[in-house]
Structure 1
């Protein structure tokens, strides 16, 4: 069995990196969506949502970088073309969203997709013995579960 630099079986690490590239694509599209929500939100809740969306996109940007670096650590190349992201992402571009509640619903639905995808990748990483990826995704899942609850509560509904 051939292993990579960090001791993981090469073909398994390559397959995992491919899944992480799909996750990276979803994060990049969501990042740009939330950036747009931040820029374009209007209405009575402008100030609080403008600040909240900035907080969210700052967190997403950190995760984008961490995912790309994890893919590199696994011995693969992260996607870095936006056209590649649009093809690979299950999260679609959100354009011309000015209503804060619609923006939050978009974020919540995007988090649901991310959570499903991350749980699948976490299982594959665990089976490979890749504790680094497991730890990273566990943190993401925990944070997004809490954020989902809080955003749903803001919308006046249960998570």
Structure 2
């Protein structure tokens, strides 16, 4: 079995690179949806949600950079065009959402889909002992599960 400079099998690492690029694409769409929510939210909860959406898009921007750097670390090239992002997107696109509940529901739905992608990456990375990718996915998953719980509590829904 051929390994890369990190000691990881090359073929399996290439699969993980593809999956990370899919995650990167979806994060870019999520980020843009969050920017739209931040700009367009209206109503009595404006101040709280305006800040919350800003917090979420800043966090997403950091995660986008971490994902791209992991792709590079594994020997790949991160996707960086809107054409690629749209091609690989699996998330709903938030367009002109100004209602608070609709905005929060978009966040929950988007994070749930991101979790599916991340768990798939985690599984594949675990199979080849790719602890760098595992650690990143685990950190993302823990944060997103908590955010979903908090958003659902805000919506007064149960998991």
Q: TM over 0.5: same fold?
A: yes
Corresponding position of 2:59: 59
Q: Which runs of 4+ in 1 moved over 4 A?
A: none
Q: Distance in 2 between matches of 1:46 and 1:68?
A: 32
CA contact (8 A) 1:86 1:92 kept: no
Deviations 1:136-156 (A, max 9, x none): 000000000000000110111
C-alpha displacement of 1:92 = 3.0
**Partner Cα separation in structure 1 for residue 92 and residue 151 of structure 2:** 20
Task: Find the counterpart in structure 2 of residue 22 from structure 1.
Answer: 22
Contact 2:97–2:103 (Cα < 8 Å) also in 1: yes
Q: Secondary structure at the match of 2:77?
A: coil
**Unaligned stretches of 5+ residues in structure 1:** none
What is the number of equivalent residue pairs in this alignment?
159
Q: CA RMSD in A?
A: 0.8
Gap regions ≥5 residues in structure 2: none
The residue that corresponds to 2:93 in the other structure is 93
Deviation, 1:129, is 1.0
* Superposition map of 1:27-106 within 5 A: 27-106=27-106
- 1:154 is matched with which residue? 154
Q: Deviation string for 1:111-133 (max 9, x for gaps)?
A: 11011111111000000110000
